[in-house]
Amino acid sequence: MTRRIVERNFDPKKPLVARRDFVAAGRHYSVGDAFDWKRLSVAQRRVAQMFESNHVGHPDEQPEQEIVDTTPPPAPPQTSDLDVDSLAQLQAIARAEGAPIKTTKIAQRDAIIAHREAGV
């Protein structure tokens, strides 16, 4: 998800509200709760850090707009009956289809695929 960069400046004279759930000065704040940092004796430097990390914000600010990616996710890979990890299962598939029996998994898969493509 892509976020648009919005120019925001901390103004210590404006009131602040919580933009995320957090704990400060032993109190729990939820989104939208007023954060009176001066009454709580929180340092202005710390409040500026909280503002930059988007924990608090000015109530008149518009929340950051999220740009939603609307492209559909890629289709999941198609599974095949040859996606097994057992030579015995591959040989059973080969016997059922009439393909030649091989001694390695890679060779057995190739033999089954070749037999299917030949249409025999």
Q: Is residue 28 situated within a structural domain?
A: yes
What per-residue confidence (pLDDT) applies to 87?
93
Give the Cα separation of 14 and 50 in Å (integer).
15
Q: Is residue 74 situated within a structural domain?
A: no
Q: Is residue 32 situated within a structural domain?
A: yes
Number of domains the chain contains: 2
Q: How much is the average pLDDT of 1-30?
A: 83
Percentage of residues in the chain having pLDDT higher than 90: 48
Q: What separation in angstroms does the CA of 113 have from each of 76, 107, 108? A: 21, 10, 9
Question: For residue 104, what are the domain limits?
Answer: 87-118
Tokens representing 50? 């909280």
- Could you tell me if 63 and 97 lie in one domain? no
Q: Is residue 78 situated within a structural domain?
A: no
Give the Cα separation of 74 and 6 in Å (integer).
31
Q: Is residue 108 situated within a structural domain?
A: yes
The DSSP secondary structure of 16-72, one letter per residue, reads -EESS-EEETTEEE-TT-B--TTTTT--HHHHHHHHHTTSEE-TTSPPPPEEP--SP
Q: Is residue 76 situated within a structural domain?
A: no
Q: Indicate the pTM of the whole model.
A: 0.46
